[in-house]
Amino acid sequence: MVLAGRRYRFRPGVAATLAAAVVIAATASLGRWQLHRAAFKQHLQDEYAARATQPPVRLPPDLPLSAEALHYRRVEASGTFDPRWDLLVDNKSLGERVGYHAFGLLLLDRSTRAVLVDRGWLARTAAYPEPPPTHLPSGHVTLSGIADNPNPRYVELSGNVVDGRVWQNISVDRFRARSGRDVLPILLVQQSDTGDGLARSWSPPDTGIATHRGYAVQWFALCATALVFWAVTSFSRETTHA
């Protein structure tokens, strides 16, 4: 190859070629894996969207479907809230405001079982960290909402996760272990209004499709960079003799 009057020859070194081959193969494989994950998450997203359009499932004493099959289905439940379990989960945002999610335990009609309910959001007050009142409904209620994942993943930096009625994180398994109650293996995310003043601005489930696609782009960009770097550095200038 001739460039600016100088002659260059393509002479890739063995060690450099092997190293480049490893990097290119690894980054290309990781990029393809991220695309496969994005396709799988897209399938889940489509399935969840389809479930949200199906008729609501009434929560009886025994679930007619598996808990997994109920995820993101619309559900209805009737009963009374247990006043002993008027809980708050701290550090929950709505827009730019920070507050709590209010949780309650709904004792189902004609059943010994109960369902944990994410009732909605409320803001912190000037008395923080003193928790605000939540106005738990005292009579019989009928709720409608979405059946969510009962045990979401979260990271905890401290073992002090419960302070009175304020929890740092909550899951059905954790609540079941602490309360000893027979709780259904779903979380009811309430959408109906019970006059409690809580905000309910729930977002559709995000399975992270964009994140996987973004990672795929990064891996493929690294793959292309490694290929170009190997190709460019494999050219060496020819020495001419008079």
Q: How many helices (H) and strands (E) does the chain have?
A: 4, 11
Higher-pLDDT residue of 114 and 161 is 114
Token match 């004493």: residue? 61
- Domain-by-domain residue ranges, the chain? 2-40+208-237, 73-190
How many other CB atoms are there within 10 angstroms of residue 150's CB atom? 23
Residues 143, 138: Cα–Cα separation, whole Å: 14
Assign 80 a pLDDT band (cuts: 50, 70, 90): very high
Residues 12, 235: Cα–Cα separation, whole Å: 7
Contact 161, 170 (CB under 8 A): no
Interval 3-12: pLDDT, tens: 555 676 878 8
pLDDT confidence of residue 48: 79
Q: Look at residue 138 and tell me whether its pLDDT is greater than 60.
A: yes
Give the mean pLDDT of 57-67: 70
Assign 34 a pLDDT band (cuts: 50, 70, 90): very high
